[in-house]
Amino acid sequence: MNSEEPKATVNFIQEIINQDKKTNKHQGRVHLRFPPEPNGYLHIGHAKSICLNFGLAAQNNGLCNLRFDDTNPNKEDVEYIDSIINDVRWLGFDWGDRLFYASDYFEKMYDYAVSLIKAGKAYVCDLSPDEIRKYRGSFNETGRESPYRNRSVEENLDLFKRMRAGEFADGSRVLRAKIDMSSPNLNMRDPVLYRILKATHHRTGDKWCIYPMYDYAHPLEDYYEKITHSVCTLEFEDHRPLYNWVLNVLNLPDPPQQIEFARLNLTNTVMSKRKLRRLVEEGYVAGWDDPRMPTIAGLRRRGYTPESIRNFCDRIGVSKSNSLVDVRFLEHCIREDLNLKAPRVMGVLYPLKLVIDNYPGDMVEEMESENNPEDPTAGTRKIPFSRIIYIEREDFHEDPPKKYFRLAPGREVRLKNAYIIKCEGFVRDERTGEVKEVHCSYDPESKSGKAGAKRKVKGTLHWVSADHALKAEARLYDHLLLDQNEGAEEQEEEKDFINQLNPNSLKVLTDCLVEPSLAGAAPGSRYQFMRKGYFCVDPDSASDKLVFNRIVSLRDSWAKILKEN
RNA sequence: UGAGGGAUCGUCUAGUGGUAGGACACCAGACUCUGGAUCUGGGAGCGGUGGUUCGAGCCCACCUCCCUCAGCCA
């Protein structure tokens, strides 16, 4: 951590905290929480929330809990709990011994519900789900009171107890708050507090058959954990009066404050759990950790560093206006991070054979190469060089376009860390007409480091020695969606986003060649393939077959020139 | 047509009555044994109309547009 770093601008939540500290609200404590429901994998949008909550806690000498909001056994699973814990930890955050579950509070919540009934603030309602909806009214039409609204406290207590005892079928009864059926805020029209769900809960098993609703459970969870600032996303804004109602009617001291911020949207991808699930279940991607997925697991496998994700989240800011962040900003963050950290290596994605005719056939030289020009402490390594090498197919052009600096008949280029070579000719495949091999001569005086090396040539190419190179597979990823925006057409049926899937989001190259120093590279290790991009060794990699994921390409000004023409 | 929110360069975000700033993206140039990185420069913005004020992105009024809400999901 660099203390010289320009201080992140104070966001509106930090301003609220500053204000609260000034007035000694919550005795100056700052306590937040990240409360995921264990019903799916975390994605980059969650990362924003995680960084916000844990970050605010850290900045303010406060605490941040990890809490599973597991109040709906029908949708949740331990599989997700494990992955969420793993992901938050991987991002670099620590909740100490404060890992909590809403389900641990069920008994206390039940007791509070009983006191709500006793206070005449809640009642058991026998209306069907459909009837409840009809009674609720609409935007323009006030709601009607349930015929069960004025049951006696005794009857409500009895019925609620029997709900818990399992006497009634799913959906037959609910516990409702008694608030105001004519409220302009639909959330306040006697919202459901408890429903009957005869489902096995992943933590409490069959102990319960009634489960609290989010609006009732969440303020209590926050209260139990002495949360001071309960940060959530914008769609809960309308629920804040209800959040406050629960805390208020129960007369709970030092209540937490709910604060809403805008969730993250990213261009060229999808973020909703529903859509991500579709991609996985319908086989558009290989799984939740497919490197094209915006999930934490996907980004991790792709090769993103936790630092780059945290940095991204810190830099996009926090506000209440809906936003759509350009995915290129995320890509900038990983390039920036890896530029400083990733060792440089040479890897040829589309190999083209090149013979240096005047180089002795039995000679092998060890060429010295910097591991990272951005990091002098990274050291150097030796790379074998010989008469037959492979270069990138696109680095030779028999009829070079304008501004093309690379190899072409009669032209000279430098081989990185080796010699200047001159193209003397090429051989075509008789059948396909494709260039099969290129013939060159080299200038022995031009070896890197020698006096004769000072000669300037336009281009520098990466290469690998044919006899020494390792075979490798490279998986090149591109954006999942062609279209910029998932937000704009959101209303359209989901087919819409399937139509926008990028057919070229994955390209698998099985005949790549990489320098021998990569032998045994461990899964997860990251490299810059010079002039090509940043790559990460995939878990599929084996000793006899290296597999690399392209994290992100290098910025490519030649590609831009090409695009213009 | 109810309620709650929101509108500042293409994008994200500062600015809290006193010269609209940064980042990404884009464009141009320098440098380069990575067409990378780095460096320099550039274009680009206050939704609209009135009002208050010496002075308004900021305060007031009206308007426009966008988002969220009618789950026994969270």
Nearest nt to the CA of A462 via C1' is: B34
Query: What are the tokens at A476?
Result: 């090149």
pLDDT tens digits for chain A (565 residues)? 333 344 457 999 999 999 999 999 999 999 999 999 999 999 999 999 999 999 999 999 999 999 999 999 999 999 999 999 999 999 999 999 999 999 999 999 999 999 999 999 999 999 999 999 999 999 999 999 999 999 999 999 999 999 999 999 999 999 999 999 999 999 999 999 999 999 999 999 999 999 999 999 999 999 999 999 999 999 999 999 999 999 999 999 999 999 999 999 999 999 999 999 999 999 999 999 999 999 999 999 999 999 999 999 999 999 999 999 999 999 999 999 999 999 999 999 999 999 999 999 999 999 999 999 999 999 999 999 999 999 999 999 999 999 999 999 999 999 999 999 999 999 999 999 999 999 999 999 999 988 878 889 999 999 999 999 999 999 999 999 987 654 444 434 455 789 999 999 999 999 999 999 999 999 999 999 999 999 999 999 998 899 999 999 999 999 999 887 7
> Helix or strand or coil: residue A67?
strand
The pLDDT of residue A487: 43
> How many Å does it take to go from CA A359 to C1' B47?
69
Residue closest to sugar C1' of B33 by CA: A416
A273 is annotated as an active-site residue = yes
Nearest nt to the CA of A491 via C1' is: B67
The pLDDT of residue A393: 98
- Please identify which of the residues A21, A75, A161, A263 carries the catalytic annotation: A263
Nearest nt to the CA of A320 via C1' is: B6
Query: What are the tokens at A337?
Result: 């991070």
Strands (E), A221-273: 229-233, 257-261
How far apart, in Å, do the first and last CA atoms of chain A sit?
45
> How many Å does it take to go from CA A181 to C1' B15?
43
**How many whole angstroms separate alpha carbon A373 and alpha carbon A280?**
40
A263 is annotated as an active-site residue = yes
Residue closest to sugar C1' of B14 by CA: A9
Separation in Å, CA A388 to CA A287, A391, A460: 41, 10, 17
DSSP strand pairing (A435-443 vs A420-428)? antiparallel
Residue bearing tokens 């989240």 = A313
**How many whole angstroms separate alpha carbon A269 and alpha carbon A484?**
8
> How many Å does it take to go from CA A227 to C1' B50?
46
> How many Å does it take to go from CA A317 to C1' B44?
21
Kindly state the helix (H) or strand (E) to which residue A212 belongs, with its residue range.
strand A210-212
> How many Å does it take to go from CA A459 to C1' B72?
68
Burial of A272: CB neighbours in 10 Å, binned 0-12, 13-18, 19+:
middle
Separation in Å, CA A190 to CA A125, A274, A405, A449: 10, 29, 72, 80
Nearest nt to the CA of A395 via C1' is: B35
**How many whole angstroms separate alpha carbon A513 and alpha carbon A391?**
9
Contact A481, A433 (CB under 8 A): no
A221 is annotated as an active-site residue = no
Query: What are the tokens at A395?
Result: 């680095």
The strand pairing partners of A63, in sequence order, are A31
- Please identify which of the residues A75, A144, A161, A273 carries the catalytic annotation: A273
CATH class of residue range A273-343+472-564: mainly alpha
> How many Å does it take to go from CA A187 to C1' B72?
14
| Amino acid at site A203 | R
> How many Å does it take to go from CA A429 to C1' B11?
48
**How many whole angstroms separate alpha carbon A530 and alpha carbon A229?**
47
**How many whole angstroms separate alpha carbon A271 and alpha carbon A169?**
36
Burial of A563: CB neighbours in 10 Å, binned 0-12, 13-18, 19+:
exposed
Separation in Å, CA A243 to CA A55, A240, A248, A314, A391: 24, 5, 9, 28, 64
Q: How many helices (H) and strands (E) does chain A have?
A: 14, 25
**Cα dihedral value A314, A317, A322, A328, nearest 10:** -60
Nearest nt to the CA of A267 via C1' is: B11
The pLDDT of residue A496: 78
| Amino acid at site A85 | I
**How many whole angstroms separate alpha carbon A375 and alpha carbon A396?**
31
Burial of A252: CB neighbours in 10 Å, binned 0-12, 13-18, 19+:
middle
Residue A354: closest CA among A389, A393, A394? A389
The pLDDT of residue A203: 98
DSSP strand pairing (A412-415 vs A460-461)? parallel
> Helix or strand or coil: residue A310?
helix
Residue A467: closest CA among A526, A385, A546? A385
- Please identify which of the residues A37, A365, A394, A437 carries the catalytic annotation: A37
Nearest nt to the CA of A457 via C1' is: B33
User: A109: which DSSP letter?
Assistant: H
Return positions of chain B under 7 A from a protein CB. Answer: 1-8, 10-16, 21-27, 33-38, 66-74
Fold of A12-261: Rossmann fold (3.40.50)
Kindly state the helix (H) or strand (E) to which residue A174 belongs, with its residue range.
strand A174-177
Architecture of domain A352-462: Beta Barrel (2.40)
DSSP character string of A348-370: ESSEEEEEETTS-TT--EEEEEE
The pLDDT of residue A453: 82
pTM assigned to the model? 0.95
| Spans of all domains in chain A | 12-261, 273-343+472-564, 352-462
